[in-house]
């Protein structure tokens, strides 16, 4: 739900410019407007017929809900804008209409209060016969009042039945909200049961409702998350009932473990066993831990078992158990080792953390696939204690397994810190040169050797490597840019080659790239003392491409 003020500016602020503009086109689609004391409802006909409601408070605040898909996501949609503008059009009479609605409510209440019991009962029976939702709510209240748990559970099963909403056995998006509203009534009944002095019965009803809701959710389009919200309130209702009823702690512990392992609702309803610590007490928590350990030992790689064990161990400050849980299912890329190292660091056990990180590197089958965060972690630990040779060796091994510009830079930084970069650089370039000789220019770009040399600002060596082994257009452009001051003739040849294919293409992005190259070409001619050649080149270019107005405009802006 979104809130704001009932003004045109307020509506625009709530909806945003786009929805506000679209809402202007729906003014004629608003019908059945009903103004109450603090609310306005209407029907707005769009792709379908939507029910729209604005809520007004006494301070002028405004909120709105619409059952269109966009509105269900909590947005102030175009249908709400249309109703808001319709109300604004009659704003002068709005206070009187709200007052009239207030008087109607008061008159109705006075009339109902004055009715004899028989007439009031007759009226209620008439409404119950016509309104199925009202009948179900009252049946739940009646069953609860007379202590009829079987009746309450029967009504709850009806409320959670998807049958009335399902087409071909599935509740479509358009009907999902209505089903979620009805399922919410079941939860309300469970809460009422608990608060009326029947919390033990409420526990039984809540657990049954969890199973029924879990069975239903696979057959409902819950894109809006309505069923998930019902599940959250159902979990709260169960906890409230347990705190009131104080059930057997060992039985509750067994149920909580079963729920956590997916034996109850397969994860639809999120229940944290630790929320029940005050209900379980020392004996129940002991049982909970014993059952969790037993389950984990039976399936050390099970996600639910690991999650439960980890949660309980962390809550109890049991770092060794947390580590044991992770260590039972180590990943092959060192990620789990890194998590363990982090847990040990948090417990002040830095030496053990370092050993786990080193173990992660050793046990990684292929350093090309190692979790790079583990490499960074271990490097940082080596650097802190001045183990510089180990830090360099780590970066060297990672670079050799995974030669990228990043790993090259990391090796360079480590080697410079250890004052051994010249030797390390020669080894790294030898590896890159051999790799370039094997692959030459591949489908994904030029030799990585060229990039490394460019990053070292060794332009001459990069130029030689590009000439001998080839380079892609990106690399040649960088080379030309960096060499232009000292080798303008060589750079000019590159710029002209890169510009030629662009002259055969169209589009503003192409024109911007072409003009950028022309600026570089002009600078080369200036350095070579041949500005007349550039002027002739531009003149010929303008003559051939005179229909490309945007290109000519960009050239004129640069004085060409």
CA distance 352 to 337: 11
Check: pTM over 0.75? Answer yes or no.
no
Q: What is the pLDDT of residue 354?
A: 96
**Could you tell me where the DSSP H helices lie in 299-371?**
303-315, 319-327, 335-346, 350-363
pLDDT at 1: 44
| % pLDDT > 90, the chain | 57
In the predicted model, is pLDDT for residue 440 greater than 70? no
Task: Answer whether residue 148 shows pLDDT above 90.
Answer: no
The strand order across the sheet containing 39-45 reads: 2-5, 61-66, 49-56, 39-45, 30-35
Strand pairing class (61-66; 39-45):
unpaired
pLDDT at 70 over 90: no
SS3 (DSSP) at 442? strand
Structure confidence at residue 426 (pLDDT): 95
Residues counted in the chain: 560
Can you give the three-state secondary structure of 495-506, one letter per residue?
A: HHHHHHHHCCCC
The stretch 308-325 carries a mean pLDDT of: 90
Q: Using alpha carbons, list the distances in angstroms from residue 535 to 295, 519, 522, 526, 560.
A: 82, 12, 9, 11, 8
State whether residue 34 is helix, strand or coil. strand
Q: Which of 30-39, 399-408, 420-429 has the lowest mean pLDDT?
A: 30-39
pLDDT at 483 over 50: yes
Give the pLDDT confidence of 172-208 residue by residue, as tens digits: 887 888 888 889 888 988 888 888 888 999 999 999 9
* Beta pairing partners, 40: 35, 54
CB 327 within 8 A of CB 310: no
| pLDDT (mean) for 510-523 | 94
Contact 350, 386 (CB under 8 A): no
pLDDT of residue 2 exceeding 50, the answer is no
pLDDT at position 224 is: 75
166 phi and psi angles, rounded to 5 deg: -90, 135
User: pLDDT tens-digit profile of 243-273?
Assistant: 999 999 999 999 999 999 887 665 678 899 9
155/276: higher pLDDT = 276
Reply yes or no on whether the pLDDT at 60 is more than 70: no
d(CA 528, CA 488): 7
């Amino acid at each position: 739900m979104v809130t704001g003020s009932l003004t045109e500016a307020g509506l625009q602020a709530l909806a945003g410019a786009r929805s506000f503009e679209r809402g202007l086109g729906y003014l004629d689609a608003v019908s059945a407007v009903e103004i109450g004391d603090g609310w306005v409802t209407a029907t707005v006909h769009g792709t379908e017929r939507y029910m729209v409601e604005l809520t007004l408070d006494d301070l002028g605040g405004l909120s709105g809900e619409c059952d269109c898909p966009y509105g269900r996501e909590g947005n102030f949609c175009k249908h709400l804008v249309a109703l808001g503008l319709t109300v604004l059009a009659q704003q002068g009479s709005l206070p009187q209409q709200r007052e009239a609605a207030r008087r109607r409510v008061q008159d109705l209440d006075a009339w109902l209060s004055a009715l004899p019991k028989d007439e009031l009962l007759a009226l209620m029976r008439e409404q119950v016969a016509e309104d199925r939702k009202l009948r179900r709510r009252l049946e739940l209240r009646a069953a609860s009042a007379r202590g009829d748990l079987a009746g309450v559970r029967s009504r709850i099963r009806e409320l959670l039945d998807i049958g009335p909403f399902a087409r071909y056995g599935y509740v479509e998006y358009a009907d999902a909200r209505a089903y979620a509203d009805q399922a919410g009534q079941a939860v309300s009944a469970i809460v009422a049961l608990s608060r009326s002095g029947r919390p033990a019965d409420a526990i039984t009803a809540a657990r049954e409702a969890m199973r029924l809701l879990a069975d239903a959710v696979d057959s409902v389009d819950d894109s809006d998350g309505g069923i998930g919200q019902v599940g959250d309130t159902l979990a709260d209702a169960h906890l409230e009932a347990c705190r009131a009823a104080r059930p057997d702690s060992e039985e509750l512990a067994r149920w909580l473990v079963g729920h956590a392992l997916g034996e109850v609702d397969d994860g639809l309803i999120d229940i944290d066993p630790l929320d029940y610590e005050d209900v379980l007490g020392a004996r129940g928590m002991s049982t909970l831990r014993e059952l969790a350990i037993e389950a984990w030992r039976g399936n050390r790689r099970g996600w639910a078992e690991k999650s439960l064990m980890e949660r309980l161990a962390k809550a109890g400050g049991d770092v060794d158990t947390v580590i044991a849980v992770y260590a039972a299912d180590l990943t092959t890329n060192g990620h789990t080792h890194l998590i363990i190292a982090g847990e040990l660091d948090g417990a002040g056990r830095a030496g053990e953390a370092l050993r786990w990180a080193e173990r992660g590197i050793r046990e990684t089958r292929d350093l090309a696939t190692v979790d790079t965060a583990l490499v960074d972690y271990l490097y940082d630990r080596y650097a802190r204690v001045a183990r510089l040779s180990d830090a360099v060796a780590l970066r060297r091994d990672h670079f050799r397994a995974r030669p990228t510009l990043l790993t090259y830079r990391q090796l360079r930084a480590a080697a410079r810190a250890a004052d051994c970069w010249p030797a390390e650089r020669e080894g790294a370039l030898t590896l890159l040169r051999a790799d370039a000789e094997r692959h030459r220019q591949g489908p994904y770009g030029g030799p990585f050797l060229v990039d490394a040399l460019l990053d070292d600002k060794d332009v001459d060596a990069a130029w030689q490597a590009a000439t001998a082994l080839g380079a892609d257009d990106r690399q040649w452009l960088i080379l030309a840019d960096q060499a232009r001051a000292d080798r303008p003739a060589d750079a000019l040849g590159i710029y002209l080659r890169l510009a030629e294919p662009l002259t055969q293409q169209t589009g503003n992005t192409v024109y911007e790239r072409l003009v950028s190259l022309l600026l570089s070409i002009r600078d080369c001619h200036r350095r070579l003392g041949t500005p007349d050649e550039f002027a002739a080149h531009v003149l010929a270019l303008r003559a051939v491409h005179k229909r490309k107005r945007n290109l000519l405009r960009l050239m004129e802006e640069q004085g060409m």
